[in-house]
Amino acid sequence: MANPHALVVFGKAPIPGQVKTRLCPPLTPDEAATLQGSLVLDVVERARAAAKSGRYDCVFACAPSRDHVFFKVLEDRQGLRLLDQIGDDLGARMHRTFQELFERGYQQVVMVGTDVPTLPGSTFGAAFRALQDHDLVLGPALDGGYYLIGLNRPAPDLFAGIPWSTDQVAALTRKKAEGLGLKTALLSPYRDLDRLEDLQALIGEAKSASKTFSPRTAGVLHTLAERLRSRT
């Protein structure tokens, strides 16, 4: 452990047929995988840029396995530390990742997903600052989930009994936190990319100069928009 703080990117390798499946159709599995790969690179690049100050280590919690070539390339090119996601459901995998990093000696752990292409790198610093006087920090997503979660200590009960992939995830997590006596801070809400309506909204937003898309992801969204128009 080089730093007391760990920033964890929690995501999947861009394997056709295994990622962004709720977008297929109208996207093909290959198109969904290309989009996934771009989204992962976005958050990794922003996390690495934010971590250059030396305030925290960058870790990637990998699915299906850190042995996948995609993650090995990230490890070599981005200097990420890799962990496997382990557990029967999303909550178990998230808790296991938090538990492992706290056992390694980290004092604050912030975990971010890979589905928010407009998320600015400044969000990570804001999350760690919030943990200075809060036990839990959440980044709520517009669909009722959350794109980021940070803790100062393990909280296994926080992840138990949550109906994942529903619009109740963030609200029930906050309710559980209150019952556990955890003081919670909230970050700004963002749209994540899970459903067709999210894709359509982000395609529209990608045309706006005010939105923080990487040139790579803006290009992918433009290409997908053209292909979707041709199919209709």
- pLDDT number for residue 53: 75
Give the burial class of 161: count Cβ atoms within 10 A of its Cβ; 0-12 exposed, 13-18 middle, 19 or more buried.
Answer: exposed
Say if residues 24 and 76 touch (Cβ distance below 8 Å).
Answer: no
As a whole number of angstroms, the distance between CA 93 and CA 172 comes to: 18
As a whole number of angstroms, the distance between CA 48 and CA 45 comes to: 5
Distances (CA, A) of 12 to 62, 84, 98, 212: 6, 10, 17, 22
Q: Give the β-pairing of 136-140 and 146-151.
A: antiparallel
Distances (CA, A) of 139 to 3, 32, 161: 23, 24, 20
- pLDDT number for residue 40: 97
- pLDDT number for residue 210: 56
Among 177, 181, 190, 95, smallest CA distance to 139 is for 190
- pLDDT number for residue 1: 53
Which domains are seen in the chain, by residue range? 5-192 (3.90.550.10)
Distances (CA, A) of 18 to 9, 43, 75, 150, 163: 18, 19, 21, 27, 20
DSSP H or E stretch at residue 12: strand 5-12
- pLDDT number for residue 182: 97
- pLDDT number for residue 212: 80
- pLDDT number for residue 226: 94
Written as one letter, the residue type at 74 is: L
- pLDDT number for residue 211: 63
> Does the N-terminal peptide bond of residue 163 adopt cis geometry, omega within 30 degrees of 0?
no
Distances (CA, A) of 140 to 8, 171, 213: 17, 9, 19
Q: Which residues in the chain land under pLDDT 70? A: 1-2, 54, 209-211
